[in-house]
Amino acid sequence: MNFVRYYFNNFSFLVNNTSGDDEMNHEIDLGKYQLRTDLAIEAIDGFEKEEKIIDGVKITNILIDETVGKRINKKEGMYVTIEFKDITDYSNNKKVMDIFAERLKKLLEEEGISKEANCLVVGLGNLLSTPDSLGPLVIDNVLVTSHLFMLGEVEEGFRCVSAFAPGVTGKTGIETSELVKSIVMANKPDFVIVVDALASQSVERVNKTLQMTNTGIHPGSGVGNSRKEISKDTLGIPVLAIGVPTVVDAVTIVSDTINYMYKHYSYTKENIDKASNKLIIGGRNYLKSDVNIDKEDKKKLFGMVGNLEDEELRQLIYEVLTPIGYNLMVTPKEVDFVIQKLSDLISNGINKALHKNV
């Protein structure tokens, strides 16, 4: 059987060449096969990044130029990623919030935004869908002061801030970016902060990663429902975007499970009698395990599938699940509680970054 291999970004796959022509050249739209993620950190493997750890919280700064941006389908600009553990604990929540607030302040300074500049905070998402309700919940706790400035009743140390939750296009029938643009034209803020729930291609990052960027945002892009962008290019003023991944797709879950099975197999291979051929030996946490399993072991476990590289494995799972409608978007069962904690963290961090006296 004759096959032709196609390449797209870092993906490759085989297609049956029924014509038998080795020189045949097909053009296929592979945009639909891009992995579902809004996080720049998941798209820049091999690129330069600056990392540091503060009290157990990892901060990664990524500056993407135009060339790299085109390659990974991200707008050029600064991307800051904060990775943390359980923020349902009060002390850990406050620690992450303080780090987030300080890094947001720094991003405002880097953008040349003065301490007196007026701000519009926009909470994107659907309040009736728990994993997508992050933006509207943040808006509920943002300290708004614009109406007080009109009355002349604001003491020094507070910035003029307004807030808005536009809902989703499926409910309003209006493009979200157009609603935001209308508010900007009417209220004339100096800059905009947009908050939205994101999608990740790693189970480990769900509800445990916060990204902020000066590039704006494409609402819904991570779940294959991309709307018009909200950015400086569309609004004419600086737009900072803040988000947390709250969902992953089934492709990610299956792919991560296979990789955990590799780690499990590697551990059992070293710690039990090989002659027993046992794989199930009780619970173990593999999240921090550095396992280098060779291709022969992978093939022993999964045959032809074991020969695939990570990206090829994801591609295969995507091609299997998507046509039958099973590439579901999934969120953890405790999402209700965690979303509330995340919204409090982000709203308090925004308040602290925008208002000197908070």
Residue 133 shares a structural domain with residue 198: yes
The tokens describing 340, both together, are 């509330």
Residue 61 shares a structural domain with residue 100: yes
Q: How large is the average pLDDT for residues 206-221?
A: 87
Tell me the residue range of the domain where 244 lies: 40-248+332-354
Residue 325 shares a structural domain with residue 339: no
Residue 217 shares a structural domain with residue 69: yes
Cβ–Cβ < 8 Å for 32, 41? no
Question: Mean pLDDT lowest for which of 41-50, 144-153, 301-310, 337-346?
Answer: 41-50
φ, ψ of residue 205 to 5 degrees: the values are -95, -10
Structural domains in the chain (count): 3
The tokens describing 220, both together, are 């819904």
Residue 317 shares a structural domain with residue 336: no
Residue 67 shares a structural domain with residue 159: yes
The tokens describing 177, both together, are 């970016």
The tokens describing 213, both together, are 């960027």
Confidence of residue 242 (pLDDT cuts 50, 70, 90): very high
- Mode of pairing for the β-strands spanning 161-167 and 329-330: unpaired
Cβ–Cβ < 8 Å for 348, 141? yes
**Which of 319-328's residues contact partners 24+ apart within 8 Å by CB, and which partners?**
319/13, 319/33, 321/250, 321/251, 321/254, 326/250, 327/249, 327/250, 327/251, 328/249, 328/250
Residue 238 shares a structural domain with residue 259: no
Q: How large is the average pLDDT for residues 232-239?
A: 96
Residue 160 shares a structural domain with residue 309: no
Question: Mean pLDDT lowest for which of 247-251, 281-285, 354-358?
Answer: 281-285
The count of C-alpha atoms lying within 13 angstroms of the C-alpha of 110, restricted to the half-sphere facing its C-beta, is 17
End-to-end CA distance of the chain: 69
